[in-house]
Amino acid sequence: MGRTGGPEAVCVGETMAVLAPADGAPADRGGDLAVGAGGAEANTAAGLAALGHRAAWVGRLGDDPFGRVVGAELRARGVDTSGVEVDPDRPTGVYLKDPAPAGSRVHYYRAGSAAAAMGPHTRLPGGARLVHASGITPALSPGCAALVDRLLAPDRPSGGPLVSFDVNHRPALWSAERAAPHLLRLAARADAVFVGADEAARLWGARGAEEVRGLLPGVPLLVVKDAEADAVCFSAEETVRVPALKTGVVEPVGAGDAFAAGFLSGLLRGLPVRDRLRLGHLMAAACLKAPGDTAPPPPKEVRDRLLAADEEAWRSAVL
């Protein structure tokens, strides 16, 4: 896939500097901290870029060393950052990752960050086929909430980019009780939605993928992910369920963003729904095996082999 021209996909949201123990041990043991970049939307952009797409991240960074680290790291991953605004007064957000295979704890230091000053005025590059946002952004500030409302406006012009929305509820930012109606309203307006079965249960009391579909009957592509079990995609034409791959877990943060990147890559490439889900699982499995928030995709020959595998071979595959 060529790298000329404007972006095919634009991912919008906050990217922060990530501080993580260099040795992967719990943070309170002390030791050296590695500095990197992380954020759900930028992780998805990096996954799309790694799969050969022209992907951009749009957001705001502080005019500080952390902001420069974030920008440089995303560019090194192949992400277009030309639409990023630099704020001379507000800082880049930071989070500390406290890693553990069962689920890392994340400590945020993002209040008053440059990203919180995003709003409906935030400009996106033109000509993209896809715009991706998440439920993290509207929790950051009223301006950020207005930005996501604009992206998911029910009267947005037809013929524009597809808009995908990852529910991505963060309890540290807003409670389930407060977030639930807002996230359901936003999800109902999207062209493609990603939601975990666990967060759908926490937010909306949904018991299983079919109940989630009942809450969001009009979404053209609804993907419900059930962690290590499977993912199911509902569309007007069909319902497709694909088991997750067997893999070891080093660190789980970012796996959902990687899944979204794989599925959206398949969507942009016109792959069948089954293969979109499989590519999502392949990307998520690669991320689960890595210590960071992103990871290189499995080699192309592995991806091609498993996308073409029959059901039995897929179910028995270990990545």
- Active-site residue, from 80, 166, 191, 257: 257
Are 319 and 289 a contacting pair, CB within 8 Å?
Answer: yes
Cβ neighbors of 208 (< 8 A, separation 6 or more) are 197
Beta-bridge partner residues of 233: 223, 240
> What is the residue type of 271?
L
Beta-bridge partner residues of 195: 224
φ and ψ of 34, to 5 deg: -85, 145
Is 198 in the active site?
no
Alpha-carbon distances of 48 from 54, 217, 262, rounded to whole Å:
8, 28, 7
Over the range 280-301, which residues count as b (16 or more CB within 10 Å of their CB) and which as e? bbbbbbbbbbebbbbbebbeee
- Cα distance between residue 145 and residue 153, in whole Å: 12
Tokens of 63: 């005019």
The set of catalytic residues is 257
